[in-house]
Amino acid sequence: MPILHVIILAIVQGLTEFLPISSTAHLHLASWLFGWESDSLTFDIMLHLGTLIAVVLYFFGDWIQIIGQAFGVQAGHDRELQQNRALFWLLVIGSIPIGIAGALFHKQADSVWRTPWVIGGMLIVIGILMWLAERAGRRLRDLGAMNGSDAVSIGISQALAVVPGCSRSGITISTGLFRNLTRESAARFSFLLSTPAIAAAAAMALKDIYKHGGIHEMLSTQFLVGVGVSAITGCIVIAWFLRYLRRFSLMPFVYYRILFGIVVIALAAFRG
């Protein structure tokens, strides 16, 4: 893949992985419209590694504190995290559904479900769900008040993100709002919960590429640039989005998703 295509798609990945607008939908549409390759094992692990690096770097301090507190060690000073010493175990519980869903449905997610019709439909459906969550959520609770029911609910919703066009962040943040979390806390838990899921996906892709003898491709300039660009873009987007949610709602993303979903379906119908 030409390095310009790699950079563009890596930026798209970094922008859309953490915003509630579906990275799969945007990558698929860009590749579909321009005829670019985006479904190779090397490309898959490149994007997963980039977004994994982004979320680990941004939340590194949080993870140190969360893991330390789980085992009785005071490793940080975030007051919200200090109020919930069980947060690590809540993240473990919340990660179980996506592991099961990934094992059962990853083949369908990468093949028969990856169509403009499914992607467009999910963009619209989850957009409507986000709108309902904005209206229903009372936004009274933060991470310090989270419990097992919250973790199970958000974890199950994350499992639905195996369907292309759903958006991991979109559906998990919406579920957090339905559970009356603040927007920022719902997004923060969503991003923390995404870390093991993205790491598992990267590990699976790495295993596949090793089996196919493609490890040497990971040393190419395109690969390293793609990982770096998606990681940097992802970090910037996470920081911006969390600040945005302190003051504003998800409604611009709701409108964008619905409009984008209509465009995807219309293009699919036009192109047959």
pLDDT for residue 213 is more than 70: no
Q: pLDDT band for 236, please (50, 70, 90 cuts).
A: very high
For the cut 70, the answer to whether the pLDDT of residue 214 exceeds it is no
The CA angle 254-163-213, to the nearest 5 degrees, is: 125
Token pair in block for residue 200: 């598992």
**Is a pLDDT exceeding 90 seen at residue 215?**
no
List Cα–Cα distances, 17 to 194, 235, 272, in angstroms: 10, 11, 28
In the block, which residue shows the tokens 């390293």?
A: 224
Instruction: Give this prediction's pTM.
Output: 0.93
pLDDT at 14: 92
- Residue 183 exposure: Cα atoms within 13 Å on the Cβ side: 20
Digit-coded pLDDT (tens) for 54-110: 999 999 999 999 999 999 998 888 999 999 999 999 999 999 999 999 989 988 888
Q: Residue 181 pairs with which residues in a beta bridge? A: 141
